[in-house]
Amino acid sequence: MRPVRSTIVDMSGSPTIPRQSPASPSPEVAAYIETCPESSRARLIMLREAIREEAPHATERIAYGTATWHDGGNIIHIGGYAQHVGLYPGSGAMVVFADEVQGFVTSKGAIQFPHDRELPLDLVRRLTRWRVDHIAATGGGRGKALVESVRDPGPIHFEAAPDASF
């Protein structure tokens, strides 16, 4: 769960919002990138930088054998391969951005960016920002919203007591 950001008034009387420090880069993610095929390393570094710009407080780690950013839930994953780099924003993002990922090889929750095409870093940033916002709105996890469970009591009937006078 994200901390609540409170408004603080500085010495000039202007409101300011305290910010958390950005998360540190993970040595594990750097090591992962170094183990990927050489043809994908520079592109993975570019993806990493774009993702970190949009999710600066996310923790970098290795999950599912890929570089992963996590903040209340897995935000996005990247992987490097001989012929492409993979971006794994999840199935919800793929539905929302379906028109923009046309022309790339995709699956339910993944996009392949071949090495012979320019990386669409603006799209990567928007996908990442969407995932950050989606996780914040749904409370993380696999897209399940945090909703208080309220049981419907059904219709309420009022009856006057027999000796009541109105």
pLDDT at 154: 54
pLDDT at 23 over 50: yes
Q: Give one DSSP letter per residue of the chain, joined into a string.
A: -PPPPPPEE-TTS-EE---PPPPPPPHHHHHHHHHS-HHHHHHHHHHHHHHHHH-TTPEEEEETTEEEEESSSEEEEEEE-SSEEEEE--HHHHHHTTTTTTTSEE-SS-EEEETTS---HHHHHHHHHHHHHHHHHHTSSSS------------------TT---
The residue among 115, 128, 34 whose CA lies nearest residue 74 is 128
Kindly indicate the confidence band of residue 3, based on its pLDDT and cuts at 50, 70 and 90.
Answer: very low
Identity (one letter) of the amino acid at 166? F
Instruction: Show the tokens assigned to 92.
Output: 């919800």
**Sheet of 59-63, strand order:** 59-63, 66-70, 74-80, 84-88, 111-114, 105-106
Tokens 């408004």 belong to 7
pLDDT at 121 over 70: yes
More confident residue, 145 or 124: 124
Q: Percent of the chain scored above 70 by pLDDT? A: 72
pLDDT at 155: 61
Q: Percent of the chain scored above 90 by pLDDT? A: 69
CATH number for the domain running over 24-135: 3.90.1150.200
More confident residue, 22 or 68: 68
Across all residues in the chain, what is the average pLDDT? 83
User: For the whole model, what pTM was predicted?
Assistant: 0.74
Kindly indicate the confidence band of residue 107, based on its pLDDT and cuts at 50, 70 and 90.
Answer: very high
pLDDT at 47 over 60: yes
Taking the CA atoms of residue 87, residue 25, residue 1 and residue 146 in that order, the dihedral angle to the nearest 10 degrees is 0
Give the domain ranges of the chain.
24-135
More confident residue, 37 or 3: 37
Q: If you average pLDDT over residues 97-117, what whole number do you get? A: 97
Rounded CA separation 72/77 (Å): 14
pLDDT at 156: 58
Kindly indicate the confidence band of residue 141, based on its pLDDT and cuts at 50, 70 and 90.
Answer: low
